[in-house]
Structure 1
Amino acid sequence: MFSQNSELIWQGRSHVGDEPGVYGDASYAGLSLELPVTLRKIDAAGDDSVVLVLRTESVQTFAGYPGHLVTVIAHQTSAGDPTHSTETELTAVRLTTADGGSKDVAVDLDGIASPAHLSVRVRVDTEVPPGLYDDFVVLGLSLRSADHAYVAELGFSA
């Protein structure tokens, strides 16, 4: 069972969109933001599913458009060459006005070795015509893990 308690991975104010300066109190990231995260399994018998919780402010999407893309990617080193890694998309969901400032992103880590090096990418909906792209703020990223089987940290670590 998933705990209602979340482990904070990152918190801040990063402005994603096409109009720099709209949010003077936030760092401007441009059209996308990507956060590197290391997840460690601390309970070998625990569930391989986690939920990453993305908190946002001022997301406004237009009807008829899919919304902003949130993608979780695994970065895995190859057994034959540990100096290179491959990217595998684990999940992709859409962030819309209806999410109300918080988006749960379920991630299945079955087959992903611990520590798992993931990145969480938030990209503005670019199906909307340029000049009408939404500007919003990413506030934080947290982890919810069944029975606290995983712990998280910002950045990639061994």
Structure 2
Amino acid sequence: MPQQHPFYLLWSGAINLGDTPGVFNNAQFAGLLVQIPVTLSFIPENDLPVRFLLKTSDVEIFNDKKHPVFWDWEPGTALPSPVGYVDDTDLIPEQPEFHELSVPHSAAAVGPHTITLQVNSEVSAGLRDDFVLECIEAHETIGAKIGW
């Protein structure tokens, strides 16, 4: 019997993050940071975190320098604590390059938010491994859509 996948698709496409344009000719180049608007229409009443999955391809990490993912970061302000990372470990066996985001319930009110992916700035230019964001999924316990 197949295992359940308690996430649903919010967005799919191909966004190339990194410092080398043109590495992936099937993806739009975004550079070192991309911010995606997300609206939550409902969240569970319990105190469990709100969860998302990111699917990527071609991620490699140098010296354990993972790429952080932030919730509700506003440009011009200090970066908050990451809600997840993009790295080269397998979250789901035989399903590489899924990365879980866990947003604290207290930060996940109904309304507009952002998910920000940043290429790790501690890695030297040229070594910032380019990768592709392919999809974003939301856990079935929340209502979410891309955009505001």
Task: Give the TM-score range, shorter chain.
Answer: 0.7 to 0.9
More displaced 10-residue stretch of structure 1: 45-54 or 7-16: 45-54
1:152 pairs with 2:144:
yes
Contact 2:56 2:97 in 1 (8 A): yes
Give matches, 1:61-100, under 5 Å: 61-62=61-62, 64-73=63-72, 89=80, 91-99=82-90, 100=96
1:78-157 correspondence runs (5 A): 89=80, 91-99=82-90, 100-110=96-106, 112-115=108-111, 117-145=112-140, 148=141, 150-156=142-148
Structure number with larger C-alpha Rg: 1
Residues 20 and 122 of structure 1, relative CA distance in 2, 3 Å threshold = same
The normalised TM-score by structure 2 is 0.80
For residues 39 and 87 of structure 1, the distance between their equivalents in structure 2, rounded to whole angstroms, comes to: 24
Q: Give the superposed CA RMSD.
A: 2.5
- Equivalent in the alignment of 2:56: 56
**Runs of 5+ unmatched residues, structure 1:** 76-85
Contact 2:42 2:144 in 1 (8 A): no
Asked if 1 retains the 8 angstrom alpha-carbon contact of 2:85 and 2:101, the reply is no
CA contact (8 A) 2:73 2:114 kept: yes
Give the secondary-structure state (helix, strand or coil) at the position aligned to 1:110. Answer: helix
| Secondary structure in 2 matching 1:94 | strand
Report the Cα offset of residue 104 of structure 1.
0.5
4+ aligned runs moved over 3 Å, structure 1: 45-48, 86-92
**TM-score, length of structure 1 as denominator length:** 0.75
- Alpha-carbon deviations, 1:67-93, whole Å to 9, x = none? 111111177xxxxxxxxxx99947433
State percent identity of aligned pairs: 29
* Structure (1/2) with the larger strand percentage: 1
| Ranges in structure 2 where 5+ consecutive residues have no aligned partner | 91-95
Shift of 1:123: 0.9
- One-letter amino acid matched to 2:29: Y
CA gap 1:93/1:5 in 2 versus in 1, 3 angstroms:
closer
